[in-house]
C-alpha cells in the first residue's frame, strides 16, 4: 500500500513536469485572438486520470499551472490565465475519464473525447463570459466589453479556439492511446 502511494506520487510528479514543459511550447492560432494559445499539456493530465484516477489528473493539471506561474509570473498579478487553463484541463479531462472508465474501448475513448471537447468548448465559453474576461478587465484596468462585442469575442474567438484546441488534443490522445493501450491498461491495473 505504501509502495503504491509512493509510485503514484512519483508518477504525478513526472507527468506534471512533462505537462509543464509541454505548456511552454504554446502557440496562437491564426485569425483568432492572440491571447488564446494552444498547448498539449492536457495530454499528460488525461493519461494520469486514465491510469490513476481523476484526482491524479486534476493534480497534474494543478501542478503544471503552479509551475508555469512560478516560472513565468502573471500578467495581471492574479493568475487568471492559469486558472482558466486549469478549468480547461478539468472540463476536457473529466468527461473523457468518466466515459472511458465505463467503456474501456477505442469506441469509448472516441465518445469520451467528443464529450470532452464539447464540454471544454461550451464550458470555457460560459466561464470566459461570466468569470475570466471580467477578471481580466478588472485586473488590467481596461474598459469592459459588453453586449455585442463580448458576445462576438466568445462566439467568434473563444468557442472556435476551444473547439480547434480540443480537436487537436483529441487527435494526439487518440494516437497515443492507440499505440500505448496495452501499457496504459497495465498501468491502470497496477495503480488501482
Residue-wise pLDDT tens digits, 17-49: 999 999 999 999 998 888 889 999 999 999 999
Instruction: Tell me: pLDDT of 77 over 90.
Output: no
Instruction: Tell me: pLDDT of 1 over 60.
Output: no
Instruction: Tell me: pLDDT of 145 over 70.
Output: no
Q: What is the pLDDT of residue 147?
A: 67
pLDDT per position as a tens digit, 156-189: 889 999 999 999 999 999 999 888 888 888 887 7
> Is residue 52 very low, low, confident or very high in pLDDT (cuts 50, 70, 90)?
very high
Mean pLDDT score of the chain? 89
Q: What is the pLDDT of residue 92?
A: 97
* Cα atoms found within 13 Å of the Cα of residue 185, Cβ hemisphere only: 9
DSSP string for residues in 122-186: HHHHHHIIIIIHHHHHHHHT-PPP-HHHHHHHIIIIIHHHHHHHHHHHHHHHHHHHHHHHHHHHH
Domains and CATH numbers, the chain: 2-191 (1.10.1760.20)
Q: What is the pLDDT of residue 146?
A: 64
Selected residue with higher pLDDT from 75 and 3: 3
Neighbours of 4 (CB within 10 A): 12
> Is residue 190 very low, low, confident or very high in pLDDT (cuts 50, 70, 90)?
confident
Q: What is the pLDDT of residue 28?
A: 92
Amino acid at each position: 500500500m505504501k509502495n503504491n502511494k509512493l509510485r503514484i506520487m512519483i508518477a504525478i510528479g513526472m507527468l506534471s513536469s512533462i505537462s509543464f514543459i509541454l505548456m511552454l511550447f504554446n502557440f496562437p492560432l491564426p485569425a483568432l485572438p492572440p491571447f488564446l494559445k494552444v498547448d498539449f499539456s492536457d495530454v499528460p493530465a488525461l493519461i494520469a486520470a486514465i491510469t490513476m484516477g481523476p484526482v491524479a489528473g486534476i493534480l497534474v493539471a494543478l501542478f503544471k499551472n503552479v509551475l508555469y506561474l512560478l516560472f513565468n509570473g502573471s500578467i495581471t498579478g492574479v493568475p487568471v490565465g492559469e486558472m482558466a487553463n486549469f478549468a480547461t484541463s478539468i472540463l476536457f479531462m473529466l468527461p473523457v475519464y468518466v466515459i472511458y472508465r465505463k467503456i474501456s474501448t477505442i469506441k469509448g475513448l472516441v465518445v469520451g473525447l467528443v464529450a470532452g471537447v464539447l464540454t471544454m468548448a461550451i464550458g470555457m465559453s460560459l466561464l470566459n463570459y461570466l468569470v475570466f474576461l471580467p477578471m481580466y478587465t478588472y485586473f488590467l484596468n481596461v474598459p469592459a466589453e459588453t453586449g455585442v462585442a463580448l458576445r462576438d469575442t466568445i462566439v467568434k474567438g473563444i468557442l472556435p479556439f476551444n473547439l480547434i484546441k480540443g480537436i487537436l488534443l483529441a487527435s494526439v490522445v487518440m494516437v497515443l492511446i492507440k499505440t500505448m493501450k496495452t501499457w496504459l491498461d497495465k498501468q491502470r491495473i497496477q495503480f488501482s
